[in-house]
Amino acid sequence: MPQQRLLYLDAERLSALHWQKGTLHAEGQFPHSDAGVAAFSEYLAKHRGSNFHMLADISDEGFQIEDLPYTQGADRTALLTRKLGQYYYGTPLSTAISYGREKSGRRDEKFLLTALTRPQLFEPWLAALRAAEAQLAGIWSLPQLGRTLLAKLPPARERCLLVSITLGGIRQSYFENGQLLFSRLSPLAATGAAEAAAGCAAEAAKIQQYLLGQRLLPRGAPLPVVALVHPAQTGAFMERCKSLEDLQVTFQDLHAAGKAVGLKTLPQDSRSESLFLHLLAQNPPREQFAPQPERRFHRLWQIRSWLLKGGALALLGCLLFAGREMVGVMESRSAADDLLQQAEADLQKYQAIQATFPPMPTSTDNLRAVINRFEDLEKRSVPPESLYLAISRALGETPRVDIERIQWQLSGNPDEALKFSDQPRAAPAPAPAAAGGPGMHEIAVVHGLLPASMAADQRGQLETVNAFADALRKNPALRVTIQRMPFDIESGKSLKSSSETEQAVTQLQFVIHLSRKL
């Protein structure tokens, strides 16, 4: 973390201080001259890694209250830039402080447009900061910090004139509802407590008349005045700064105020610039006067710091993830070891129990072969009811067909030919391996009869047998093959006489081969 240094600029000099945990250490004073700027450059060379905050306490300040239409983004920036250019032409040290939107009407946004109107006083010091590539966080004016100070000094006041004594003179800042509206710095030549008290009383009366003239203070309303005074000088101030009808003066113990904000280096007199410097180091206001080019190196430091913090967070996340994974691996290994130990214990128990069994009459392979054979026998013991049921349904669709007999068996060959006719016929060619496939098949050979009345109607015989076969084929699991028709339909057979036909009247038989994979 870089060290934090404060630069206090007034009309006579630039003072450099080192701030560390609420303690201020003066490190040098540089007058407004070429020798002072050169000495300041040498000072910057010794503290290149520090962050610098500049506090300006000069009389060349401008304040303007303006109500502007509510805008956002680039339009808001352009509007404020144009307004600041109109009021404070010729100085880049300007800023706009938003005081929120109105609650009625067009709901415009209220701004305090303020600027440091003598940029020539800052240019030598800013040039030295640029040349040294110093990290300038910003430029603030002392009245900006009065709001923070009043918030830490109860009780809350609707309006208040904060009076403080600094190296620059007597600073008077007017606040209304905690918002800065006007500030004025008056030079103070005397150094004694009595002369400073008299000067504060005279300047408070002048500022009260000015506020009435600018209509910032309602007529007839008393102006509360809070004066920051060293406890040893409170008596001198109370003697010369008395409350009047229009001015209600309250003296605030400077040491008590310093302790309230956490300042450890308490002032030695009524000068309060150390109090404001501590407030600046502790919580600088968001609005400041330095243009972006003057803060370039500070922005680079911020980006570098954000990258380092992001990298550190990413590394921390990776380490946490790796730690969690390592814990998970260790837990998995421990669980695996426990499982191995449990498995070994179970194996020992199993072997101990197995040792109590009587000796087996044969080997495990023989038992496995017997079990497989038993399963094959179970497959071969399938009952024929389902196949007979399919034949029964086909008979119901073809009532002219009668069954003479059915030969049923189980076989591994779905095309196994069963000959039950008187004249042997050639066995049909075996089907391809894909047709039957491995496994057992249920086979039935159906011997059917047709009525004698169809002896002269060979076409009717053919249609009836085909209809019976088609009825069987409605079962997709059945493979149906007509082995023999009631008459010879082959082209090589000779025609028979009518006497031979009459003799075959009682022989209108046909044979159908059925097979189904189990």
> What's the CATH code of the domain at 226?
3.30.420.40
- For residue 316, give its domain range: 301-357
Reference 164, options 229, 243, 244; nearest CA is 229
- Strand 247-253 versus strand 223-229 pairing type: parallel
Residue ranges for the chain with pLDDT beneath 50: 420-437, 495, 497-499, 501-505
Is the domain of 284 the same as that of 347?
no
Residue where one domain finishes, among candidates 290, 314, 346: 290
Is the domain of 143 the same as that of 259?
yes
Is residue 312 situated within a structural domain? yes
Decide: helix, strand or coil at residue 80.
helix
The pLDDT assigned to 317 comes to 94
Is residue 77 situated within a structural domain? no
Decide: helix, strand or coil at residue 220.
coil
Is residue 123 situated within a structural domain? yes
Is residue 38 situated within a structural domain? yes
Give tens-digit pLDDT for 483-510: 888 887 665 555 454 445 444 445 689 9
Decide: helix, strand or coil at residue 392.
helix
The pLDDT assigned to 214 comes to 86
Look-up of token digits 């109500």: 67
The pLDDT assigned to 517 comes to 86
Residue where one domain finishes, among candidates 243, 269, 290: 290
For 280, what's the count of Cα atoms within 13 Å in the CB-facing half-sphere?
33
Is the domain of 269 the same as that of 243?
yes
Is the domain of 438 the same as that of 485?
yes
The pLDDT assigned to 410 comes to 80
Angle between helices 123-131 and 34-46 (to 10 degrees): 30
Non-local (6+) Cβ contacts of 209 within 8 A are none
Non-local (6+) Cβ contacts of 22 within 8 A are 262, 263, 264, 265, 278, 282
- Strand 169-176 versus strand 179-186 pairing type: antiparallel
Contact 274, 228 (CB under 8 A): no
Is the domain of 176 the same as that of 274?
yes
The pLDDT assigned to 491 comes to 54
Contact 469, 481 (CB under 8 A): no
Is the domain of 328 the same as that of 447?
no
Is the domain of 351 the same as that of 413?
no
Is the domain of 312 the same as that of 421?
no
Is residue 348 situated within a structural domain? yes
Look-up of token digits 């994979």: 517
Residue where one domain finishes, among candidates 342, 357, 372: 357
Per the structure, the count of domains in the chain is 3
Task: Give a three-class secondary structure readout of 305-364.
Answer: HHHHHHHHHHHHHHHHHHHHHHHHHHHHHHHHHHHHHHHHHHHHHHHHHHHCCCCCCCCH
Is the domain of 137 the same as that of 210?
yes
383 φ/ψ angles, rounded to the nearest 5 degrees: -75, 155
Is the domain of 162 the same as that of 308?
no
CATH code assigned at 454: 3.30.980
Is the domain of 125 the same as that of 251?
yes
C-alpha dihedral sign at 318, 319, 322, 327: negative
Is residue 413 situated within a structural domain? yes
Q: How far apart are CA 247 and CA 203, in angstroms?
A: 12
The pLDDT assigned to 6 comes to 95
321: its two tokens: 């993830």
Is the domain of 141 the same as that of 179?
yes
Q: What is the pTM of this model?
A: 0.64
Give tens-digit pLDDT for 322-351: 999 999 999 999 999 999 999 999 999 998
Is residue 369 situated within a structural domain? no
Is residue 296 situated within a structural domain? no
Contact 263, 278 (CB under 8 A): yes
